[in-house]
Amino acid sequence: MTSTLIDTNVFIDMLEQRPRWFAWATARVEQFSQVGKLVINQIAYGEASIPYDEEAIFAKSVDVDWIVREDLPWSAAYRAGKAFQTYKERGGLRDMILPDFFIGAHASVKGYRILTRDAARFRTYFPELEVIAPDTHP
């Protein structure tokens, strides 16, 4: 069974029950929980925590039995660096490595699919990934 790494935007859609995307995110989480574990890493956890003033409140809101918290593998950090290097070589303007590169690299080195609403960067820099997005899974 292939696991699914949840990108920050989908994680936030579920936490905040965002009207435009909550139903889609919930349906995809339900769908892919039937065929493998659902995973978040420290990057998505950190990005999703931004609006919360207290860590305990945030931690309680994400303490759910359907998500597995998984550490970013060291090999994913290397893969993220290589993806960022390609981004820079193609004219990317950011000077610091982007969170999406760590999330995509994590999915890549573990052989996971990725659940996201922002598929373009994952498809460009991690073409080996199975990307679950609104355009492929409406």
CA dist 36 and 90 (Å) reads 35
A 10 A CB-CB count for 46 gives: 11
Cα dihedral 84→88→93→99 (10° resolution): 0
Q: Using one digit for the tens of pLDDT, what is the confidence trace for 1-31? A: 899 999 999 999 999 999 999 999 999 999 9
Provide the CATH number for the domain formed by 4-132 in this structure: 3.40.50.1010
Q: Is the pLDDT of residue 63 over 90?
A: no
Q: Is the pLDDT of residue 48 over 90?
A: yes
Q: Which has the closest alpha carbon to 108: 87, 69, 81?
A: 81
Answering whether pTM is above 0.85, one says yes
Q: Where are the domains of the chain?
A: 4-132
Q: Which has the closest alpha carbon to 121: 42, 92, 112, 23?
A: 92
- pLDDT interval class at 64 (50, 70, 90): confident
Q: Pick the more confident residue, 12 or 66.
A: 12
